[in-house]
């Protein structure tokens, strides 16, 4: 479902992902097409990876409906000017109506690029195989 999503196929074809009960890891290759005027990756790249990793870290624990991102907070620590970046998300709280997951974004050298925390809640839309979720 994740890798087949239209935005990943069209805008982020280098995306790679691994999903387990413990954590979600998503990575992609950053190049000049994703830069802002200062010559580094635009914050939207950071946000996408961190929201996706945190979201799926939470979604793996909910089997009856899709989740919605209720909030996402990011803290940027350094710019990235190219190469593969990797984001790891893991759940830190699971309540009755809300799940909280954290994400950490690193460059290929292991340098911390950003951290984030997201809050997710059930959407009410049931998980259905025809939507790509298995």
Does some domain include residue 133?
A: no
Q: Domain span at residue 70? A: 6-127
pLDDT values of the chain reduced to their tens digit, one per residue, 134 residues:
777 777 877 777 788 899 888 899 999 999 888 899 999 999 999 999 999 999 999 999 998 899 999 999 999 999 998 999 999 999 999 998 999 999 999 999 999 999 999 999 999 888 876 665 44
Any idea what the CATH number is for the domain that residue 42 is in? 3.10.129.10
In a domain, 134, yes or no: no
- Tell me, yes or no, whether 81 lies in a domain: yes
User: Quick check: is 93 in a domain?
Assistant: yes
Evaluate whether 28 touches 9 at the Cβ level (below 8 Å).
Answer: no
How many structural domains compose the chain?
1
Whether residue 45 lies inside any domain: the answer is yes
Q: Is residue 111 part of a domain?
A: yes
Q: What is the dihedral of CA 120, 125, 127, 128, to 10 degrees?
A: -150
Element (H or E) spanning 72, and its range?
strand 65-76
Return the DSSP state at 8: H
Q: And the tokens for 39?
A: 């010559």
Continuous segment of H or E residues that includes residue 28: strand 24-30
- The answer as to whether 39 is a domain residue is yes
């Amino acid at each position: 479902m994740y890798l087949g999503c239209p935005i990943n196929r069209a805008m982020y074809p280098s995306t790679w992902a691994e999903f387990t009960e413990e954590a979600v890891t998503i990575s992609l290759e950053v190049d000049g097409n994703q830069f802002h005027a200062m010559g580094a990756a635009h914050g939207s790249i950071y946000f996408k990876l961190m929201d996706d990793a945190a979201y799926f870290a939470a979604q793996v624990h909910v089997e009856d409906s899709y989740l919605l991102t209720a909030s996402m907070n990011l803290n940027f620590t350094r710019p990235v000017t190219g190469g593969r970046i990797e984001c790891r998300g893991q759940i830190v709280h699971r309540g009755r109506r809300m799940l909280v997951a954290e994400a950490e974004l690193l460059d290929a050298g292991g340098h911390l690029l950003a951290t984030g925390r997201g809050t997710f809640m059930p959407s009410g839309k049931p998980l259905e195989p025809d939507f790509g979720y298995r």
